[in-house]
Amino acid sequence: MMDEELILLNPGPACTSQRVKDALLRGDLCHREPEFTELLARIREGLPRCLNLAGTHEALLVTGSGTAAMEMAVISSVREGRSVLVVNNGVYGERMIKIATAHGIPVHEVRSEWTVPADPEAVRAALAEHDDVDAVVCVHHETTTGLINPIREIGEIVAGTDALFVIDAISGTAIEDQDLAEVAGDVICGTANKGLHGQPGMSFILCGERSLRRITEAPVRSLYLNAASYLQGQRKGDVPFTPAVQVCYALDEAIAEFEESGGFAARTRLYRERAALVRGQFERLGLKVLVDEPYRSNTVTMIHLPDNVTYAALHDELKKRGYVVYAGQGQLSADFFRICTMGEIPWHRLEQLEEALRESIDAARGV
């Protein structure tokens, strides 16, 4: 095993800086104390600011992984007797359907292949066909394959209707070039880890004006994930349930680090540069990428397993060399693996990835 830290090349949890890890040790704090109220206020202001949504979107912070934010967003956006339209081209689109179904919310679906971006015109047609849709839900970056969906174009279509546009931006926020200020997103779901480089365990939804109204009209479908109770509590500096205080400390520090290092423009540039670096390596190594170039995200690359190499063998060889990669999901698990350049990763470790991959592929083949 190498002396240097293991680099996580999976799409979250992502590696974090020492500064963010140290923040976990700021100390014990009761969430009913004024220090927590200040911490919460800083984070609630910081999140929309980092994503260029200050003044248009209000943050609701929840203790739970990204799926908690997705669930809160869906169930708080649909009124009684109304439905959700899910744009589905991957595991996370499917998850939105499972969430709605679990809560008895009727679902319409616009489905496309996992390697094909959603078609905005199909969304327009579905909205014309179904007059009961209260929310259109779309994943920005489908982490399943590393595919980007056209949220700006879909947002323009949804904005002209009564439906809210709910975006699962969990693996896209602060990573992808699309400036969310240019997207008509009513609810945007994100997490503390991934592109913001905080610790996993907290997630959030950013609510625009239309969504803040809708939250109060949707029925209470869950005690824990009822956005209306978070809105009411957080505006008073309170949270309805015991929060992961230490993860909030880390998020607070991650937001400070994000802004000090140049904010949204600098972070997305870093992700673009990393993607170019590693994809150049994949090309030199003859590795084939699943998704066509124009639709690739800035982090996840879905790669065909080289001939005569199993995922398990490749994973283990790369881990010996200091890198954790990730399996393909669902129907793609047998033939593909994923490499994701998310989180705090020293540049030289990404440069060294090429050699590690070359050696690991040879070793996994038994050369």
Ligand X SMILES: Cc1ncc(COP(=O)(O)O)c(C=O)c1O
Among residues 145, 195, 131, 144, the alpha carbon closest in space to that of 169 is found at 195
User: Which residues of this protein are in contact with ligand X, per CB under 6 A?
Assistant: 11-12, 65-67, 70, 92, 139, 143, 168, 170-171, 191
Q: How far is the CB of 254 from ligand X (least distance, A)?
A: 16
Q: How far is the CB of 65 from ligand X (least distance, A)?
A: 3
Closest to ligand X by CB, 36 or 200: 200
Closest to ligand X by CB, 67 or 161: 67
Contact 42, 251 (CB under 8 A): no
Closest to ligand X by CB, 44 or 140: 140
Q: How far is the CB of 148 from ligand X (least distance, A)?
A: 11
Contact 281, 301 (CB under 8 A): no
Closest to ligand X by CB, 139 or 180: 139
Q: How far is the CB of 142 from ligand X (least distance, A)?
A: 7
Query: How open is the CA angle 355-359-363, to the nearest 5 degrees?
Result: 170
Query: Which three-class secondary structure state does DSSP give residue 137?
Result: strand
Closest to ligand X by CB, 7 or 72: 72
Which pair of tokens denotes residue 162? 């009564």
Query: How open is the CA angle 222-170-102, to the nearest 5 degrees?
Result: 30
Q: How far is the CB of 140 from ligand X (least distance, A)?
A: 7
Contacts of 56 (CB under 8 A, 6+ apart): 48, 181, 208, 209
- CB neighbours (10 Å) of residue 292? 11
Closest to ligand X by CB, 178 or 281: 178
Query: Which three-class secondary structure state does DSSP give residue 79?
Result: coil
Binding site for substrate, by residue number, is 338
Q: Give the ranges where the chain is alpha helix by DSSP (H).
A: 18-23, 34-50, 66-75, 91-102, 120-129, 151-159, 209-215, 227-235, 245-260, 263-284, 311-320, 347-351, 353-365
Contact 219, 69 (CB under 8 A): no
Binding site, by residue number, is 338
Q: How far is the CB of 297 from ligand X (least distance, A)?
A: 10
